[in-house]
């Protein structure tokens, strides 16, 4: 297949995945839609197995992924994390508990490689999946890589029903407390989030898409050489996240800088397709063979979150159902962390005041929890897991 035709096919599949997510209100995520379309095409013979290779996106995707993760680092709002410290601790401890249980129980039952590979994927995020699948493909561990992708595209169906059920219970209890309803009925206004001028902040004349891209590239380059200095002990992508946060705090990078480059959709496309690059060699037998590992990881992950969530609820004095919901946010992340509180507030608020109060109570907590688990914890845990393989 010619490169331009292969690239066009992948662009159409990517667009179809987004349309599926839009029409189903994110019940079927973009990544799930893309994975199903690619597998259907490869297994039916409609799409050639060399499609992704023909499109020549793999090499560029590996290079450009660092820029995407650097931009993720600029979204870390330390002030908001301090305000929501109970949420941060609960989400962080829960996701670490889930990973620990998956590894400890999974190693003797599904094998060391599968357990270690799947644990950070349960912690959530495309960046973690990219780290693990890239490492596994280099090591020739095709089955473990397939397992990571299957877990990545299906984990939302594990977490969404649990979070929805428990947040409904939380909302029902919350609305019976008139004092809390009155407190949260007015929108909780955070402090202005205007970025302070750091020592590395450039003059306004440099506010151009080309300069934004250059700054992302320079930051990723710093992360690369720092990773080399550690002999790869700290993964390049982990340092991209850290350097993104550091250079944002120093004023060199803007918050959510990737959006300002006017190329975020294209970069996201390349990175997403890169994650699914090994689906071309995946067979139905391989997918079926990882289902027991998928089931075990789901049970262990949820079990770990419940155990740690119970302890956090007692120690931090937060509702048990809310604690579990914060932890399980690792399986779906944004925008589902926004959609579920909105649906719950609409369903359980008996009047406009209660609806506003429930939303103001749940939404900031779920958004923060999803950010801590998916954006931060999963990347750091994946960097550790790679060293354990």
Angle of helix 112-122 versus helix 291-316 axis, rounded to 10: 50
State yes or no: pLDDT of 304 exceeds 80: yes
Alpha-carbon distance 188 to 185, whole Å?
8
- State the Cα torsion 253-258-261-263 to the nearest 10°: 160
The full DSSP string for 326-366 is: HHHGGGT-TTHHHHHHHHHHHHH-SSHHHHHHHHHHHHHHH
User: pTM for this one?
Assistant: 0.76
Higher local confidence (pLDDT), 272 or 40: 40
Give the orientation angle of helix 85-110 with respect to helix 352-370, to 10 degrees: 50
Q: What is the mean pLDDT of the chain?
A: 87
pLDDT in tens, 184-197: 886 554 444 445 56
Q: How far apart are CA 339 and CA 349, in angstroms?
A: 15
pLDDT of 228-281, one tens digit each? 998 877 888 888 988 998 999 889 999 889 989 988 889 889 988 888 887 887
pLDDT at 26 over 80: no
pLDDT bin (cut points 50, 70, 90) of residue 335 is low
Question: How far from the centroid of its chain's Cα atoms is residue 87's Cα?
Answer: 17
């Amino acid at each position: 297949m010619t490169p331009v035709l292969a690239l066009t096919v992948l662009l159409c599949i990517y667009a179809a995945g987004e349309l599926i997510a839009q029409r189903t209100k994110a019940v079927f995520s973009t990544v799930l839609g893309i994975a199903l379309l690619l597998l259907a095409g490869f297994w039916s013979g409609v799409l050639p197995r060399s499609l992704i290779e023909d499109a020549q996106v793999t090499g560029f995707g590996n290079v450009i992924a660092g820029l995407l993760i650097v931009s993720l680092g600029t979204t870390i709002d330390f002030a908001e994390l301090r305000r929501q410290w109970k949420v941060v601790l609960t989400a962080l401890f829960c996701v670490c508990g889930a990973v620990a249980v998956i590894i400890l129980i999974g190693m003797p039952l599904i094998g060391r490689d599968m357990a270690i590979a799947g644990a950070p994927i349960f912690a959530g995020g495309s960046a973690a999946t990219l780290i693990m699948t890239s490492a596994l493909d280099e090591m020739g561990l095709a089955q473990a890589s397939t397992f990571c992708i299957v877990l990545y595209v299906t984990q939302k169906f594990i977490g969404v029903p649990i979070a929805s059920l428990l947040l409904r219970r939380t909302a029902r209890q919350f609305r019976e407390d008139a004092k809390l309803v009155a407190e949260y009925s007015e929108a909780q206004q955070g402090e202005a989030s205007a970025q302070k001028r750091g020592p590395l902040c450039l003059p306004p004349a440099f506010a151009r898409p080309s300069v934004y891209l250059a700054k992302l590239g320079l930051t990723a380059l710093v992360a690369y050489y720092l990773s080399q200095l550690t002999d790869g002990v700290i993964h390049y992508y982990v340092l991209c996240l850290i350097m993104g946060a550091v250079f944002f705090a120093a004023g060199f990078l803007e918050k959510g800088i990737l959006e300002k480059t006017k190329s975020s959709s294209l970069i996201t496309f390349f990175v997403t397709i890169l994650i699914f690059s090994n689906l071309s060699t995946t067979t139905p037998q391989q997918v079926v063979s990882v289902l027991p590992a998928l089931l075990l990881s789901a049970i262990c992950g949820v079990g770990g979150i419940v155990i740690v969530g119970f302890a956090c609820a007692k120690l931090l004095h937060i509702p048990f159902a809310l604690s579990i919901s914060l932890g399980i946010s690792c399986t779906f992340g944004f925008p589902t962390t926004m959609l579920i509180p909105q649906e719950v507030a609409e369903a359980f608020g008996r009047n406009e005041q209660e609806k506003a109060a429930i939303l103001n109570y749940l939404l900031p907590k779920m958004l923060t929890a999803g950010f801590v688990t998916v954006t931060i914890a999963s990347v750091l845990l994946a960097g550790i897991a790679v060293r354990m393989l």
